[in-house]
Amino acid sequence: MRQAIRVARRGIGSTHPNPRVGAVVLRGREVVASGYHLRAGQAHAEVRALTQAAGLAQGATLVVTLEPCAHFGRTPPCVDAIVRAGVRRVVIGMRDPNPLVDGRGIERLRREGLDVEVGLLESECRALNPPYLKQLETGLPWVTLKAMLSLDGKMASESGESRGLGGEAEQRLAHRLRAESDAVLVGVGTVLADDPLLTVRLARGKTPLRVVLDSTLRTPSEARLLATAEESPVVFATTSRGKSRVREIEAHGASVWVFEPAADGRVPLAPLLLRLAGDGRYAVLVEGGAAVHTAFLREGLADRIAVGIAPVILGGARAPSLAGDLGRSRLSEAIALESLVVRRVGRDLWIEGSIERNGASDV
């Protein structure tokens, strides 16, 4: 199963909206074939592994990270291919909660007389597909907050400068995160300060949907996001109903999504996330700025944090940090991370972790 998990990771950034899945074919203790799902509409991991195994699949064991499908979609049911190949035993990492599957693949395999085991390394298999699983379970996308910080936790200097805070290696990693996401989101403050493109240039993969929180449509007409809207889609989420400004933005090729304002007059985050998930955007990367990060954390809508830390100290009482007032005054109320990954990236330190969901920090 660990090898199937490693194989599944090869599909990172390309399987959307399908989950990442890996499969291996075993004869005794020998792996004779492996496969992973590469792209929606193409062969699933099980079929690729069985095709590679050919006649060696007869009487063999198939190990797969996610329950095989038993329905017709863009491809035929995987269980049919498994049965035809003559596989004797199937080991499944986890049941697929997709209502179209949800135990039907397991039931069909057992009905066909195959020996089926479910739940091997289930937590590791779940970790392959947090966006896919979260949208099925909650209707919301998986949200990662990304930031580059100084040693003293600042996202920018007091004058608003932030470009160059991260080194080249960190920038490549940031672009890889974009390529692995379905949408990248910033606030209008970031657009006004940095005029970002939010495209993927330093990594392999396609540019995700670009989303700007702009409640009053302050984005200037000369912004690079608008200039490239025909090449890479961009959505402006707003509460403004000014028809002339909406038409002006749409004339550049961008889309405008209008929402009823939240209590503070800003774009309501939960309805926006629901619409993104409904649009098939299951992994959302939030790149800031500080007010946007704060809003996601306050509302409990962030799932993962990814921060780079540069070996510099910026200082400045008014310099923006990762988060502002979260309404938490005690250490016991701190937002804690789990499943930490810490590594050196060029001159910088990179830290990633999922937000604990048990309601309290263990700090």
- Span 336-358, mean pLDDT? 93
Enter the tokens of residue 247: 């038409």
For residues 121-142, average pLDDT: 96
Judged on CB neighbours under 10 Å (0-12, 13-18, 19+), 320 is buried
Residue 235: is its pLDDT beyond 50? yes
pLDDT band at 363 (very low <50, low <70, confident <90, very high): very low
| 343 is known to lie in a ligand binding site | no
Fold of the domain built from segment(s) 2-128: Cytidine Deaminase; domain 2 (3.40.140)
Residues 6+ apart with CB under 8 A from 90: 61, 62, 63, 64, 68, 82, 109, 114, 115, 116, 117
Mean pLDDT for 228-246 is 95
Is 6 labelled a binding residue?
no
pLDDT of 311 higher than 60:
yes
Tell me the pLDDT band of 361, cut-offs 50, 70 and 90.
very low
Mean pLDDT of 215-228: 97
| pLDDT-above-90 percentage for the chain | 85
Chain centre distance of CA 307:
15
Ligand-binding annotation for 294, yes or no, is yes
Own/partner contacts of 156-159, CB < 8 Å, gap of 24 or more, are 156/193, 156/289, 156/314, 156/319, 156/320, 157/314, 157/316, 157/319, 158/314, 158/316, 158/317, 158/318, 158/319
Q: Which amino acid is at 144?
A: T
| 215 annotated ligand-binding residue | yes
CATH code 3.40.430.10 for 137-355:
yes
**pLDDT value of residue 358:** 66
* SS3 per residue for 155-205: CCCCCCCCCCCCCHHHHHHHHHHHHCCCEEEEEHHHHHHHCCCCCCCCCCC
Q: Is 190 annotated among the ligand-binding residues?
A: yes
Average pLDDT of every residue of the chain: 94
- Is there a binding annotation on residue 152? no
CA distances for 156 relative to 108, 148, 162, 223, 286, angstroms: 56, 9, 4, 21, 16
pLDDT band per the 50, 70, 90 thresholds, residue 359:
very low
- Residue written as tokens 């074919």? 25
Residue 191 has pLDDT above 90, yes or no: yes
Q: Within a 13 Å sphere around the CA of 327, how many CA atoms are in the beta-carbon half?
A: 7
Q: Does the active-site annotation cover 46?
A: yes
Give the pLDDT of residue 252: 97
Report how far apart, in Å, the C-alpha atoms of 239 and of each of 70, 254, 259 are: 43, 16, 5
Q: Looking at the predicted structure, is the pLDDT value of residue 74 above 90?
A: no
More confident of the two residues 357 and 258: 258
Give the global pTM. Answer: 0.91
Copy the structure tokens of residue 188.
């209008």
Looking at residue 41, what is its pLDDT? 87
pLDDT at 122 exceeding the cut of 90: yes
Supply the pLDDT for residue 163.
83
Amino acid at site 41:
G
pLDDT at 312 over 60: yes
pLDDT at residue number 288: 86
Taking 90 as the threshold, does the pLDDT of residue 75 lie above it? Answer: no
Domain boundaries, the chain: 2-128, 137-355
The pLDDT tens digits for 260-302 are 999 999 999 999 999 999 999 999 999 989 999 999 999 999 9
Rg of the chain on CA atoms, in Å: 23
Catalytic residue among 30, 46, 124, 222: 46
Amino acid at the residue 338: E
56, 59, 63, 69: CA torsion to nearest 10: 100
147: left (phi over 0), alpha (psi -120 to 50) or beta: beta
% the chain with pLDDT above 70: 98
Q: Which residues of 60-82 are buried (b: 16+ CB within 10 A; e: fewer)?
A: bbbbbbbbbbbeeeebebbbbbb
**Token reading at 25:** 């074919």
Q: Residue written as tokens 């999504």?
A: 257
DSSP code per residue over 64-130: ESSPPP-S-SSS--HHHHHHHHT--EEEES-----TTTTTHHHHHHHHTT-EEEE-TTHHHHHTT-H
Per-residue pLDDT tens over the stretch 17-70: 889 999 999 999 899 999 999 888 899 999 999 999 999 999 999 999 999 999
Q: Indicate the pLDDT class of residue 188, thresholds 50, 70 and 90.
A: very high
